[in-house]
Amino acid sequence: MAAVCANPLVVRSGSLPMVGRDAELAALLGAVRHAPSAVFVEGQAGVGKTRLVVEFAAVARAGGARVVRASCQQLPEPFPFGVLLDCLSQCGDLLRDPGPVTGALRDHLPELADRLPPAPRPLGDPEAERHRIFRAVRDLLCCLGPVVLVLEDLHWADEETRQVLRFVLGNPPPGLSVLVTYRREDLAVGAPLGRAFRVPHGVTGVSLVLSPFEVAQVRSMVDALVGGRVTSEAFAEAVVRETAGIPFVVEETVRALPDPARDVRAGADDARRVLDGLEPPVLVADAIRERVETLSDGARALAEAASVLGVPETVEVLGAVAGKAEVEHLTALVAAAVLVEVEPNRYGFRHRIAGRAVCAALPGPRRRELHERAVAVLSTVDQRPLVRLAGHARAADATDLWLRYAELAAEAAEEAKDSATAVDLLSEVLTEPGIGAGDANRLAAKLCGYALAGLPGGAVTARVEGLLADPRLTPDVRGEVHLWFGLLLQRESGELDRGAEEIAHAIDLLGDQPERTVRGLAAMAGPYLGTASIAEDRASLGRAEGIAETLPTLAQRTALLATTLGGRLIVGDPSTWERIDQLPSPVDVRDPEEVHHLARAYCNVADACSWIGHYSRARKYLRTGIALAERAASSYVIATAEATAVRLDWLSGRWSGLEQRIDRLVGAYANLLLTHDLNLTRGWLAAARGDWTRAEAAFQAASGSYPVGISAAGGMAGMLLSRGETASALDHVEDGIEVLRRKGAWVWSGDILPQAVDCYLASGRVDAARSLIAETAAGLEGVDAPLAFAALTASRTTLAAATDDAPSYREAIDLYRALDLPYRVTQLTEQAAGDDPAVLESLATTYDDLGATVDAARCRHRIRAQGITTPSRRGRRGYGTELSPREQDVARLLAGGHTNREIAQALFLSRRTVEEYVVKVRRKLNAPSRNDVHL
């Protein structure tokens, strides 16, 4: 019995806009405009033939056409001429001067009897009578004038209807258009009109085959169903896999979701789980079961085997599992469109829901028998499908085989870089109470290892947490599970404190076993987590490093270094470089565990370099780390490396495509702590482009760890100050500076000190700026922090300029240039340029090349303020229907929800100029309103 939808959709399919059939609709309308015409629309059940016809009829009628529709009925013995007579009975108001032969239809069309001539005398010859009926139908159609007959489901029509249609379309009346829809798999004969039909010369012929939807069309359809543009790409892709893109099945599936508005936003893993847990929608299940019930015993047995196997299989495997199968049985299944040849010699259901519906309808003993046969058959093939074997063994209640295949499948999944599947397989086995304590402890330890190598969050972390309640675990294994659980939590957004508690508990449980607790000790010493001062963090790192000599394996020693090296470097400890040299050579490491920890080490060092200003080193270490992580299939390490690479590309001015990369990564790694880092870069980028709403949201989301939160405070302050909101900017600056002061982490001042000095000077607090610079300089003594020293030099220059000293920008510019920070170099060069229009125009071009919209606009505004006309941006004035660069800026800010006033402020334009740009943008993008502008 299907589950009741807890939050059903209230929309109805008839109220939804048509999706994905614009070209087909245009073809139908074109055929009607060039009557006489014959249009054939083919498509499998549920593909949207009726929806297309409904849209066509509405548009054609709006254009003045007369459209008459009728459908064939699924009857054991169809009525002669049934669908044609249903259409003609609706045409009494169109009838003009019917000829004598039309009287032959009086008895068939009582609705028109008063408009038709008397019935002619009987001819006494059935063939002659039939010919006269054919002529009567054609003559009656001639009397109707221009008309469109829409005949749906012609596969259920009687033979007489097909013959009369062939007769009429062989020489159609001038104003007649006939549109028929049909399913090829349900035709009693090979063609919709009984045999091949060639459209005569002078008649417009159109033949369409409606295909299932692809991902983009499914996404639009689901959006229409839930009433908003909220469907994720991953969910749309999952729906296509589940439904084969058949619109009717898509709609019923979405309507059956527990919470459609929430579920359609899901990422790939959650979408798969939601759809896997969904019972087949009632209407879809009824349709496929009805079709299967009409099959012969042999064909039905094959269909049942295919439903249990769940994926397309060869004829040999299907037959072996079914227990009885002949070629004609498979032929019958394909002819009836129950099974399709998905790839050469592999047959399965057209969509997964159909197979699940058939499987669910099987009696329990029959279903178990088929699963047992599936295990026996699949275990003998050359490349055993281990995941499927585990599933079949479980369904057959073969616990020992289930454990065996699940463990093998988990190992194979990990080798294939699919840690999530490995975790799922083992966690499902561990839910079985019949599994012994020895197996449970071994599998629990394996599961945690797989979880830590992959991406945490959601189901994976929940799986590990669930192990804590397993009474079969020994104290040592339970302590390890607490440790792994804590490490996973520390990778998730908003779970740092809880993660630290779990790690501390694990260390208490395993305190006499340093080789087991080393990861936890190192993690607890991390300076980017918690509120301990940098001095305390260094001491904790030292204690963790003191354990290294006692560790028995290279993998354990490398695991310790992976955390402590990054921790030391990110606080500017210059001795770290010698320690990095202690890492094993990547060429010499072979053990997968050692490779994994070495990948962590290189990527953590690269990340630390990216924060303190060693950017060229960061890229070198990152390349090595990513290569190692890919060798070890370390998904989480790769994810952190991607976030570091995004920030490095921002810093070095490689902004092209960066926004799209960030959006993709934030979607892929939602709820992980590394998204804070991605949001920081998103905020920087949005602020430089004047998208302040997006920037503010991103900076607010970039919190929870150091030094990300400090840099976000600096980014927010700089943006607010550029808008003249000095008081608000100061609030953010002082929050960030307070964190630096409390932790003694002046090494992280590079992204907030210049903004803080600017804020203090803008509010007239010169002494506060001077004091902060002095405090930072003292805090940086003996610290390896190139970015912070460059920021300190730039801040001293800014202070000198504000206090009428003779500022020299050259040293600060050279420091930033040596670090390869083009955006900061250009900003400082602008400060030094004064009002020189030639320099400002050159800087505006540099900003344009970077993508810094606000800064380029500011430079040109400063030039215009001197009464100098600025040249057309990028030279070319004629853009036709394309958006000009300035219009692209306006369109992007419109799409972000900004008002005209905010756009004017961001781009240094007048409100009236912005209004003119908005009109042009809407016209070029064919947007009915500003809310419809999307890029």
H or E stretch at 688? helix 674-688
Tell me whether the omega of the peptide bond preceding residue 36 falls within 30 degrees of 0, making it cis: yes
Better-predicted residue by pLDDT, 555 or 719: 719
Give 531's pLDDT tier (boundaries 50, 70, 90).
Answer: confident
Q: Is the pLDDT of residue 119 over 90?
A: no
Better-predicted residue by pLDDT, 125 or 43: 43
Q: Is the pLDDT of residue 655 over 80?
A: yes
Q: Rounded CA gap, 825 and 655, in Å?
A: 16
Ramachandran assignment for 479, one of left (phi > 0), alpha (psi -120 to 50 degrees), beta (any other): alpha
Q: Is the pLDDT of residue 877 over 60?
A: no
Top mean-pLDDT range of 526-530, 666-670, 695-699, 860-864:
695-699
Among 321-335, 389-403, 766-780, where is mean pLDDT lowest? 321-335
Give the end-to-end CA distance of the chain in Å, rounded to a whole number.
Answer: 44
Q: Rounded CA gap, 709 and 713, in Å?
A: 6
At 68 the three-state DSSP class reads strand
Tell me what percent of the residues of the chain surpass a pLDDT of 70: 92
Among 265-274, 309-318, 602-611, where is mean pLDDT lowest? 265-274
Give 278's pLDDT tier (boundaries 50, 70, 90).
Answer: confident
Give 11's pLDDT tier (boundaries 50, 70, 90).
Answer: very low
Q: What is the pLDDT of residues 588-612, one digit of tens each?
A: 888 888 998 899 999 999 999 999 9
Q: Rounded CA gap, 606 and 620, in Å?
A: 8
Question: What is the token pair recorded at 932?
Answer: 């419809």
Q: What is the pLDDT of residues 688-745, one digit of tens each?
A: 988 888 899 999 999 767 899 999 999 999 999 998 899 999 999 999 999 999 999 9
Q: Is the pLDDT of residue 193 over 90?
A: no
Task: Find residue 67's DSSP bridge partners.
Answer: 148
Q: What is the pLDDT of residues 910-928, one digit of tens each?
A: 677 766 666 676 776 666 6
Task: Find residue 868's DSSP bridge partners.
Answer: none
Query: Whose CA is closest to 236, among 252, 223, 249, 255?
Result: 223
Give 4's pLDDT tier (boundaries 50, 70, 90).
Answer: very low
Kindly provide the b/e burial profile for residues 497-521, where b requires at least 16 CB atoms within 10 angstroms of the residue's own CB: eebbebbebbbebbeeebebbbbbb
Average pLDDT over residues 799-803: 91
Q: What is the pLDDT of residues 241-257, one digit of tens each?
A: 999 999 999 999 999 99
Q: What is the pLDDT of residues 56-101, one digit of tens each?
A: 999 999 999 999 999 988 887 777 888 888 888 898 888 888 889 8
Tell me what percent of the residues of the chain surpass a pLDDT of 90: 45
Q: Is the pLDDT of residue 835 over 90?
A: no
Average pLDDT over residues 814-837: 92
DSSP 465-527: HHHTT-TT--HHHHHHHHHHHHHHHTTBTT-HHHHHHHHHHHHHHTTT-HHHHHHHHHHHT-T
φ, ψ of residue 279 to 5 degrees: the values are -70, 145
pLDDT at 872: 52
pTM higher than the cut 0.95: no
Give 935's pLDDT tier (boundaries 50, 70, 90).
Answer: low
pLDDT at 908: 64
pLDDT at 15: 60
Q: Is the pLDDT of residue 47 over 50?
A: yes
Residue 351 per-residue DSSP state = S
Please report, for residues 38, 453, 883, 885, 916, the alpha-carbon distance to residue 877 in angstroms, rounded to integers and kept in the order given: 49, 54, 11, 10, 16
pLDDT at 409: 93
* Amino acid in the structure at residue 776: T
With vertex at residue 206, the alpha carbon angle to CA 203 and CA 210, rounded to the nearest 5 degrees, is 165
Q: Is the pLDDT of residue 559 over 80?
A: yes
Average pLDDT over residues 676-699: 92
pLDDT at 5: 39
Question: What is the token pair recorded at 608?
Answer: 């630390």
Q: What is the mean pLDDT of the chain?
A: 87
Q: Rounded CA gap, 215 and 231, in Å?
A: 11
Q: How many helices (DSSP H) and strands (DSSP E) are in the chain? A: 45, 7
Among 473-477, 639-643, 860-864, where is mean pLDDT lowest? 860-864
Q: Is the pLDDT of residue 806 over 50?
A: yes
Give 870's pLDDT tier (boundaries 50, 70, 90).
Answer: low
